[in-house]
Every structure is written in structure tokens, then in C-alpha cells.
């Protein structure tokens, strides 16, 4: 009978040892899963913030595009209301001076932008973009 109790105690001891080691393994795995969940939650939050930022940028671009379209339509309306060929034939000096002034302004702007871009490409250059 004494051997029977020793065998039961031995079996119960081995069972407890096995359950304890399984508990340790499961506890370790649980901690790893909690860390993985935290990382995924952080990733989801950063993706959500980036999505909101992109949405805001897109809305800003849509608004800016609408303003540009309205300005384009306003200019196109001016051209539709005025017959520039007829005006050029009737008053060549008036139209010529305005066109020449506008063309000069466009070319000056292009030259200024080109100087600025050139100075950005060559940081050792002594070119002043304001000249």
C-alpha cells in the first residue's frame, strides 16, 4: 500500500511539474502576443493618422483646383466676350502694347525661376536668384 501511495504521489508530482511548465510556456506566449497586439495597434493608429492627413491634403488640393478652375473659367469668359482679332485690327497699338507687356512679364518670370532652380542645383554657385 505504501508503494501505491508513493506511485500516486510521484504521478501527481510529475503531472504538476508538466502543468507548471505548460503554464510557463503559455504565459510567455501570452506576453509575446500582447506585445504583437500593441505593435499592431500602433501601426493601425499611424496608418489612420496618415490616412486623415492624406484626406486633408486631398481636400485642400480639391479646393485649390476648384479655385483654379473658377479663375480659368473667368479668363475664358473674357476671351469669349471679346473678339481679339477684331480689336487687333481696329486698335493695333492698344492690343500690341498689352501683349508685349504680358509677354515680357512671362519671360522675366521664367528667367527668374530658371535662375532660382539653377542656384538650387549648384549650391556652390554665387548666383543670386534676386538678380
DSSP 83: -
Q: Note the pLDDT of residue 70.
A: 95
Q: Note the pLDDT of residue 95.
A: 77
- Cα separation, 70 vs 118, whole angstroms: 33
Is the Cα dihedral 56, 58, 64, 69 positive or negative? negative
pTM value? Answer: 0.46
Q: What is the gyration radius of the CA atoms in the chain, in angstroms? A: 39
Q: Note the pLDDT of residue 128.
A: 53
Q: Note the pLDDT of residue 31.
A: 97
Query: Could you list the mean pLDDT of each consecutive 10-residue stretch along the chain, which spans 131 residues?
Result: 90 94 96 97 96 95 95 87 79 81 91 86 58 50
- Ordered by start, the domain boundaries in the chain are 33-81, 85-131
Amino acid at each position: 500500500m505504501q508503494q501505491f501511495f508513493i506511485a500516486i504521489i510521484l504521478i501527481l508530482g510529475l503531472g504538476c511539474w508538466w502543468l507548471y511548465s505548460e503554464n510557463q510556456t503559455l504565459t510567455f506566449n501570452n506576453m509575446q502576443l500582447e506585445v504583437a497586439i500593441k505593435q499592431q495597434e500602433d501601426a493601425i493608429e499611424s496608418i489612420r493618422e496618415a490616412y486623415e492627413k492624406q484626406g486633408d491634403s486631398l481636400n485642400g488640393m480639391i479646393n485649390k483646383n476648384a479655385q483654379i478652375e473658377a479663375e480659368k473659367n473667368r479668363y475664358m469668359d473674357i476671351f469669349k466676350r471679346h473678339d481679339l482679332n477684331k480689336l487687333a485690327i481696329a486698335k493695333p497699338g492698344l492690343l500690341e502694347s498689352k501683349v508685349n507687356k504680358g509677354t515680357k512679364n512671362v519671360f522675366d518670370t521664367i528667367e527668374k525661376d530658371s535662375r532660382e532652380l539653377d542656384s538650387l542645383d549648384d549650391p556652390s554657385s554665387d548666383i543670386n536668384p534676386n538678380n
